[in-house]
Amino acid sequence: MLAVLLALASAAMYGLSDFAGGIVSRRTSVWAVAIVTQLTALVLISVTAGILGGRPEPADWLWGAVAGVGIGAGTGFLYRGLAAGRMGVVAPLSAVGAALVPVIVGLLTGERPPLLTWLGIGCAIPAIWLVSAPAEGFGSLVRRPRLDEGATDGILAGLGFGLMFAALGQVPDSAGLGPLAAAELTSILAVAVLATALHGSWVPRDRVAWWGTAVGALASGATVLFLFASQAGMLTVAAVLASLYPAFTVLLAATLLREPIHRPQAVGLVLAAVAVALVAIG
């Protein structure tokens, strides 16, 4: 039960941080916001790691570095998608990827999910297509297949966050938060490399970008909660429950930004929620 509560609390903080990050990213360089976010997370987690202590093994540092690549890619693409597209599309897409990648990793490492988990995976595939549907509905999908604006970034963000969840799930509780601090350091490098490759500006040059400190505080708290959840219970359950964060993001976007949810996308959102629930129950 503790793992479930920690994972849900992580989802709530991720959803709030994504909403705030999306708002800030619409006013300045998304890559600069991502850098500030991860810098803030690095400082906060490093201080906490020093206080709590721990005995990380060399493999734990390596898993932390792998998780950092996922954090950097996930954060950068998510903020770019939230800035260019609709939060109600980008956030759910990122969640599906974040939920499925740990399941795939579990399969490759010998886990055999029960039937409900397989049903959840089956629901997730059409959910990705439907959530990405344009406002015109099903007819336009047949005549002119395309992804809604920001959807590609949502998918890439999901793969990044899925890598993060899968890697952090390999870190034992005896390691403390040191490997997570290493992940945040690696994530900064990953954001800088990605921004440079995509010809984006990642150096914070204005005051707006520094609002990313608040986003970073929320994101770091969410990641710490997820790490504790994965250590207290199964990785698959913790990752899927933490992937419920779009529910909070979409609620805030619909309430504060008045973003409409079209019928195909509503069906996709329901399927995505069913997929997450089935994987968690299974």
pLDDT value for 241: 83
Give me the DSSP letters along 184-216. Answer: HHHHHHHHHHHHHHTT---S--STGGGGHHHHH
- Amino acid (1-letter code) at residue 217: A
pLDDT value for 265: 75
Report yes or no on whether pTM surpasses 0.85: no
Separation between Cα atoms, residue 190 and residue 60, nearest integer Å = 19
Separation between Cα atoms, residue 62 and residue 228, nearest integer Å = 18
Overall size of the chain counted in residues: 282
* Residue that is written with structure tokens 């870190």 in the block: 171
Segments in the chain below pLDDT 50: 137-146
Report the phi/psi class of residue 172: left, alpha or beta, with left for phi > 0 and alpha for psi in -120 to 50: beta
Q: Which of 211, 276, 282, 206 is nearest to 245 (CA)?
A: 276
Separation between Cα atoms, residue 213 and residue 236, nearest integer Å = 30
Distant-in-sequence, close-in-space partners of 219: CB < 8 Å, separation ≥ 6: 13, 14, 17, 21, 37, 41, 75
Residue 148 DSSP label: P
CA distances from 101 to 56, 98, 161, 213 (A): 25, 6, 9, 28
pLDDT value for 94: 84
Separation between Cα atoms, residue 28 and residue 26, nearest integer Å = 6
pLDDT value for 142: 42
pLDDT value for 26: 77
User: Tokens in use for 62?
Assistant: 């390596």
Separation between Cα atoms, residue 15 and residue 92, nearest integer Å = 10
Number of neighbouring beta carbons within 10 Å of residue 142: 8
Answer for the pair 79, 34: CB distance below 8 angstroms, yes or no. yes
Which percentage of the chain shows pLDDT scores above 90? 34
